[in-house]
Structure 1
Amino acid sequence: MEACAATLDARAYWTLRPGVGSIAEVSLRPPGPGEALVRTLHTGISRGSETLVHRGAVPPEIAEAMRAPFQIGDLPGPVVYGYLSVGVVEQGPAEWVGRRVFALVPHQDRYVVPVTALAPVPDAVPSPRAVLAGTVETALNAVWDAGPRWGDRVAVVGAGMVGACVAALLRDFPLQQLTLVDHDPERADLAAALGVSLVGPDELGDDLDLVVHCSATEDGLRAGLAALGVEGTLVEVSWYGAQDVRVPLGGAFHSRRLSIRGSQVGSVAPARRARRSTADRLRLALEELADPVYDTLLTGRCAFEDLPQTIVAMARGEITGLCHVVDYP
């Protein structure tokens, strides 16, 4: 029994206190019935939430709302945080052993979870690209919430990971216009890879049918609303935490009869809730990742052993880009 327990030792990235992280051991119990032991191949760093956790900047009143599904410990720390993991099943039900899987698990080299928490990675999807499954799932839910129609003029405000994935999904719709909006001109290469135009927030005009807002900034929200034509809709995908955001409800908001709708990945969009489960949605996201265009979002890599220094550099703004992939030995 002791030998078996020893084989289940694992290592994880811990945020010990604000600004300080380290890789240390975690204890794993052997998998029980309906559970699997997974060896991690890659994880993805979710830049926004994980740098907040690193800085200890998560307000206590929203700590529970920010809790990751398989988080160890509590915010502000010590805590093991994250939710973009791809691995291979080493032990568990026979039909799962040897399969590559995606799970909403933090940065650790092995873990034990129920098999119901695992989503098989399709053969056509490379393992590093599969870490984007959670982000594509968020984007898919936003598109379901937005409900674009034939010939719509659409803008996606914010060319971060979620915004880029929303734009990638909307490429397949018969739209009259699809524009990616960001103040950073360096996002032009990303837009070109997606086959859409990139403009600044002040270049949008004022006749759009639909805006999907993903910038998590008040300025982006204002620009998106200003760009809507009569009876246009803005779908708000950004999460602001405890930040107060001023929404411009004066000006043309009422005369144009504009609408603002929230989209959140915690539940399936109402338009599909009766016919799609969260597992269905994640499976669709993984199938979408067979498209190699999503490699454009993988803009950095590091070894698991280098993760503590990488998070520090990211929090300081020394590492930019979109999704940073962590490789495990």
Structure 2
Amino acid sequence: MITSEQQRTATAYWTVGPGKGELRREDLPAPGPGEALVRTLYSGISKGTELVVHNDRVPECVAEAMAAPNQDGAFPYPVKFGYLTVGIVEAGPENWTGKTVFCLYPHQDRFIVPVESLTVVPAGVPARRAVLTGTVETAVNGLWEAGPRLGDRVAVIGAGLVGGMVAKLLSAFPLGRLQLIDVDSAKRAFAETLGVDFSHPDDALPDCDIVIHCSASQEGLKRSLQLAGDEGDVIEMSWYADRNVTLPLGEDFHARRLSIRASQVGVVARARRHRRTNADRLELAVSLLRDPGFDVFLTGSSTFAELPDAVQRLSDGTLDALCHVIEYPVIEDPVSESPSTEGTR
């Protein structure tokens, strides 16, 4: 069983300087009314956003807006940042104890949050796969923003984690055409695994009703404008952080009356904002993960003790990954887990 000493402390990952992170021990109070103590099973590294934080590239003017829901500290550092965590409730309200849950929480082995911050992982969704819930939520929000219709011609530019996730969800839509586009021809095999047509940007088909841009590159956004059909929509899902982007707005943008709309997961997309809450969106996202096809996005793992090194290796390019999973130590005689965690450790 968990000792009182273990309950009083936790270990968390902190960014403590440009390109530097470390594990820190901190006090952990007992859960109060309406709060739950969660023991982490897995967390995922959201490579794009977390590396922006790791490399001190969050613009000061949006630092407050870009804070994660349960972030501790402030940008640039020291800051405890992250939001793809799955664990098991060890203490709290009786109807929550023993449940496997997803939480938008940083990398930490135990944590306490209000139960309203937790999303129950349903039966049929392994705990490891459930770390993708936050990324699926991002993709769902982008599709709510884009609003694809029957027979639409859609292009997704950027075959990374978010772009691949968007293409995966779109593959179930009754579209007229769907292409996943990337400069890296090696991504063709990834697209085939998703059941989606792949194209290099030079060969991509034009006259799209919707182009969803996820490459976080100036050239990718420029190509998005070229591929959109007259009066078409470009949905921008990339975050450029402190990088400046230059676009040829004297070309396709004005002449063909194109639209560029931002999609950012911090708020529910405008088209659903009055009828869906953030909690509704998370419940939808985790339910979609019953599909084992999402396992293709889990591309490697490290132990919690190896987390600082894993983040640095992702940053310097020596570790390649879509979603890199962090595995937490198994505690002897833990609280019984729900069926959704069976076979995951």
Determine whether 1:246 maps to 2:234.
Answer: no
Residue 311 of structure 2: aligned partner: 311
Q: Map of 1:118-137 to 2, 5 A cutoff? A: 118-137=118-137
Query: How much does 1:39 deviate?
Result: 0.0
> Residue 151 of structure 2 corresponds to which residue in structure 1?
151
Q: CA deviation at 1:226?
A: 0.2
Alignment of 1:52-201 (within 5 A): 52-201=52-201
* CA offset digits 1:98-145 (Å, max 9, x no partner): 000000101110000000000000111111110110110010011011
In structure 1, the residue matched to 2:299 is 299
The 1:21/1:276 distance shift into structure 2, 3 A limit, reads same
Gap change, CA 1:6 and 1:288, over 3 Å in 2: closer
Residue 258 of structure 2: aligned partner: 258
CA RMSD of aligned residues (A): 1.4
User: TM-score, normalised to structure 1's length?
Assistant: 0.96
- Unaligned residue ranges in structure 1 (runs of 5+): none
**Cα deviation, residue 71, structure 1:** 1.5
* Contact 2:300 2:323 (C-alpha < 8 Å) held by counterparts: yes
Q: Match of 1:43?
A: 43
Q: Secondary structure at the match of 2:111?
A: strand
- 2:269 is matched with 269
Contact 1:157 1:215 in 2 (8 A): yes
Identity of aligned residues (%): 53
Shift in Å, 1:279: 0.7
User: How many Å separate the matches in 2 of 1:133 and 1:71?
Assistant: 18
CA–CA distance in structure 2, aligned partners of residues 309 and 274 of structure 1: 42
By how many angstroms is 1:158 displaced?
A: 0.8
Structure 1 residues 24 and 252: CA distance shift in structure 2, 3 A: closer
1:81–1:106 Cα contact (<8 Å) kept: yes
In structure 1, the residue corresponding to 2:302 is in which secondary structure?
strand
Q: Structure 2-normalised TM-score?
A: 0.91
Kindly indicate whether the alpha-carbon contact (under 8 Å) linking 1:5 and 1:30 is maintained by their aligned counterparts in 2: no
Tell me, in whole angstroms, the C-alpha distance in 2 between the residues paired with 1:265 and 1:52.
16
Structure 2 counterpart of 1:98, which letter? Answer: G
Structure 2: runs of 5+ lacking an equivalent: 330-345
Q: Match of 2:204?
A: 204
Aligned counterparts of 1:251 and 1:218: Cα–Cα separation in 2: 15
Partner residue of 2:328?
Answer: 328
> Is the Cα–Cα contact under 8 Å of residues 133 and 282 in structure 1 kept in the other structure?
yes
Matched-pair contact (CA < 8 Å) for 1:62–1:241: no
Query: Within 2, Cα distance between the matches of 1:312 and 1:130?
Result: 24
Q: CA deviation at 1:321?
A: 2.2
CA distance in 1, matches of 2:63, 2:255: 39
Instruction: Report the AA paired with residue 169 of structure 1.
Output: L
Residues 31 and 92 in structure 2, CA contact (< 8 A), matched pair in contact too = yes
Provide the rounded CA distance (Å) in 2 between the counterparts of 1:162 and 1:6: 36
Q: Secondary structure at the match of 1:7?
A: helix
> Partners of 2:230 and 2:71 in 1: how far apart?
44
Q: Give distance in 2, aligned partners of 1:224 and 1:299.
A: 28
Moved over 6 A (4+): none
The answer to whether the Cα contact below 8 Å between 2:225 and 2:252 also exists between their aligned partners in 1 is: no
| 1:5 Cα deviation after fit | 6.4
Shift in Å, 1:21? 1.9
Counterpart residue number, 1:217: 217
Q: Quick one: which amino acid aligns to residue 328 of structure 1?
A: Y
User: How many residue pairs align between the two structures?
Assistant: 327
Partner secondary structure for residue 131 of structure 1: helix
CA contact (8 A) 2:82 2:104 kept: yes
Matched to 1:21, the amino acid is G
